[in-house]
Amino acid sequence: MRLGIIGSGSWATALAKIVTDNGNTIQWLVRSEAIRQHLLQRKHNPNYLSSASFDIQRLQLHTSIVEMVAASDCLVVAVPSAYIVDTFKELDPAALEGKLLVSAVKGMVPDKNILLNEWLLQRFNFPLSSYFTLMGPCHAEEVARERLSYLTFSGVSEERAFEVASYFKTWYINTIVNADVLGVQYAAILKNIYALGAGIAHGLEYGDNFQSVFIANCADEMAAFLKKVGVQRMEVGSHQGEDPVTHKKDANYAASVYLGDLLVTCYSLYSRNRTFGNMIGKGYSVISAQLEMNMVAEGYNASRSIQVINQTIQADIPIASAIYRILWQQLSPAAGFELIEEVLI
C-alpha cells in the first residue's frame, strides 16, 4: 500500500518519521518548494522537529496535492482543521475514489462545525467505510525523541484498521485499534478545549490541587458529552471482553485515547493548547497569543464549534461553555473561572 502524508507541521513530521522508521517509503505533501529542497539537502524539516532526521530514499516529496494523491493509496491527513478546506481545494470531486484516508486531525472544520469525515462526505462523497482515525495520546516532540508512545486507530472495519496501524508500529510506537470512529474524534476535540482551560487556570495561578479537581470534572463532562453522541463503553472499570488475538481488555473510557489523551494534553508542557491557554490566563488577547505561538491551538476554534453542535446534542457542558465565553465573548478569564468553580464537584 502506497502511503501518503498531507502536511509538514510538527505532527505530520512525526508521523512521517514513524512510518519511514518502520521501513516504508512515503509520498509526502509539504507546504513549499523551500521545505522540499531543505529536506532533500539537509534531511530534516527546517521548521518543525529539526532533530528528526530522514532517510531521503524513503521520501517522495510533493508540493502538489493532485500529484501526491494520485501517487498514494492511503492518505494520512495531518494539517490543522482550519486549513482543511484550503488544502483540498485543488482536488477534483472524484480524486479520492478508491482511496483510504486516515485522519490525524484533532479539530472540526471551522465555520462548518463538522467532523472531517462529514466534510469529506459532502465534498467528495467519501464513504465512512474507507475512513480511519489516528489519535493519541502522543506528542510530536516525544516521537522525535523516540519516547515510547501509543497511537489508537479507529475504523468501521477493525480488520482494515489493524492493517493501517501496522504501518505505524515501531519499537517506540505501540498501536491500539477500536471501532469508535466518531467518539475518538469528539474526545480529541473536547480534550483540546479542556487543555486550553487548564492552561488558563495555570496562567491565573491556580495550583495543582485545583487543577486536579478541574481536570477530573472535565473528564466527567467529556464522558457525558460522548454518551450523548452515542459512544458506548464509558464505564471505567468495566470491560466487555478481550481481543481474541492480543488478549488485551476491551477499551473503555479509561483507555488512552479518551482519558489518557485528556490528561497528557492538560498537563504536558508540550501541549500547544495548554500553552495557548496559559497565555490567555496571563492576560494576552487571543490575537496576541496566536501571533506569539505561531502554531495552531485546535481548542480555540473547537470551543465555538462544540457550542454550535451542543445546541442539538444538549449535553451539560458548563466548563466548555465558560472556556468558550472567555475565548469568544470577552468574558475575563478570572470571571470565567469563578463560574467554573461553582460547578466543580
The pLDDT of residue 273: 95
Domain ranges of the chain: 3-179, 183-343
Determine the Cα–Cα distance for residues 87 and 83; give it in Å rounded to an integer: 6
- Cβ-Cβ contacts under 8 Å for 251 (sequence gap 6 or more): 176, 178, 180, 233, 257
The pLDDT of residue 231: 83
Task: Say if 3-179 and 183-343 have the same CATH topology.
Answer: no
Helices (H), the chain: 10-21, 33-42, 65-70, 84-88, 116-124, 140-144, 158-165, 181-203, 208-228, 261-267, 272-281, 286-293, 298-313, 318-328, 333-343
The pLDDT of residue 93: 94
Query: Superfamily for 183-343?
Result: N-(1-d-carboxylethyl)-l-norvaline Dehydrogenase; domain 2 (1.10.1040.10)
The pLDDT of residue 232: 76
The pLDDT of residue 295: 75
The pLDDT of residue 64: 96
The pLDDT of residue 243: 67
Question: Which set of grid coordinates corresponds to residue 65?
Answer: 496535492
What percent helix, strand, coil does the chain show, rounded to 5? Answer: 50, 10, 35
Q: Does domain 3-179 have CATH number 3.40.50.720?
A: yes
Per-block average pLDDT, block size 10, for the chain (345 residues)? 95 96 95 95 93 94 97 97 95 96 94 95 97 95 95 94 96 94 95 98 98 97 92 75 70 85 95 96 94 86 96 96 97 98 97
CA distances from 334 to 207, 217, 237 (A): 14, 18, 36
Angle between helices 208-228 and 298-313 (to 10 degrees): 50
Determine the Cα–Cα distance for residues 300 and 278; give it in Å rounded to an integer: 13
